[in-house]
């Protein structure tokens, strides 16, 4: 379970949220500019709100009042960015190996090869990102996010740039892998069909505020 409280005053926007994310997939749904990506960034530690708390089970990752702010590298968080953020000069394999810097090379290679097989990327290990299709890039980015054996996973619009057929393939692949993980997964989307199909819980936010919080049926 992840609990988060965020308060941040921008010049023309007030972000004020108190949310809970259980194990399984939660869709964070809402229009562009609602504060969805900022919420993910606060959970990952790459952005710190003016006031906030982030608690993973019994561990405090952020408590601005008590000056607790665990660095992104220490949060054991997997993050799939909207623009995937693969290194263009790294091969697919090296991109994955970079995602788990603390393990030995042998351990990283074993983990990377396992994920390459799971995400149907076999034979592409030595390809650079520009030699991959859109779906392959997203699968590679997701595999890299899982290299750290994360305690929670953040997915920022993973389907936004994909055509319908590729989106369905990635969704199926993602569902299969996430069934094996018993961790909180927060999926940011503005696509209601994706939210309804993939998530057991949907949280709707608008203009930085909680608008609706319901379990999918």
Q: Spell out the long-range contacts of 81-84 with Cβ–Cβ below 8 A and sequence spacing 24 or more.
A: 81/141, 81/156, 82/37, 82/156, 82/157, 82/158, 82/160, 84/129, 84/137, 84/138, 84/140, 84/141
**What are the backbone dihedrals phi and psi of residue 101, each rounded to the nearest 5 degrees, phi first?**
-70, -20
Low-confidence ranges of the chain (pLDDT < 50): 215, 217
* Buried/exposed 158-177: b ≥16 CB within 10 Å, e otherwise: bbeebeeebbeebbebbeeb
Architecture of domain 26-46+72-215: 3-Layer(aba) Sandwich (3.40)
Cα–Cα distance, 191 to 210 (Å, whole number)? 17
In the chain, what are the domain boundaries?
26-46+72-215
* pLDDT recorded at residue 212: 62
The residue assigned the tokens 């054991």 is 76
CA–CA distance from 76 to each of 26, 72, 126, 162 (Å)? 18, 8, 27, 28
Contact 118, 110 (CB under 8 A): no
Sign for the pseudo-dihedral over CA of 170, 171, 172, 176? positive
pLDDT at site 97: 93
Give the pLDDT score at 121.
93
**Is-above-0.75 flag for pTM?**
yes
DSSP H helical ranges for the chain? 36-44, 92-98, 105-118, 134-146, 164-179, 192-198
pLDDT of res. 41 = 94
Query: Among residues 134, 117, 131, 145, which one has the least CA distance to residue 169?
Result: 134
Distances, alpha carbon 35 to alpha carbons 49, 53, 120, 145, 196, in Å: 12, 16, 33, 22, 20
The answer to whether the CB of 140 falls within 8 A of the CB of 119 is: yes
Dihedral, CA of residue 96, residue 81, residue 25 and residue 145, to nearest 10: 10
Radius of gyration of the chain measured on its C-alpha atoms: 17
Q: What is the pLDDT of residue 214?
A: 54
């Amino acid at each position: 379970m992840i609990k988060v409280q965020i308060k941040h005053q921008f010049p023309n926007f007030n972000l004020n949220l108190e949310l809970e994310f259980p194990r399984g997939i939660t869709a964070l749904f809402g229009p562009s500019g609602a504060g969805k990506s900022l919420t993910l960034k606060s959970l990952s530690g790459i952005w710190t709100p003016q006031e906030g708390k982030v608690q993973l089970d019994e561990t405090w990752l952020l408590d601005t009042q008590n000056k607790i702010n665990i660095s992104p590298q220490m949060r054991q968080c997997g993050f799939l960015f909207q623009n995937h953020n693969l290194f263009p000069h790294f091969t697919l394999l090296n991109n994955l190996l970079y995602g788990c810097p603390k393990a030995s090379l042998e351990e990283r290679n074993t983990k990377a090869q396992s994920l390459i097989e799971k995400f149907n990327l076999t034979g592409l290990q030595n390809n650079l990102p520009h030699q991959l299709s859109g779906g392959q890039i997203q699968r590679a980015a997701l595999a890299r996010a899982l290299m750290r054996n994360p305690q929670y996973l953040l997915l920022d619009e993973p389907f936004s740039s994909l055509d319908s057929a590729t989106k369905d393939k990635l969704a199926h692949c993602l569902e299969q892998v996430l069934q094996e993980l018993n961790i909180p997964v927060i999926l940011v989307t503005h696509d209601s069909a994706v939210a309804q199909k993939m998530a057991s819980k949907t949280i709707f936010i608008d203009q930085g505020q909680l608008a609706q919080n319901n379990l999918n049926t």
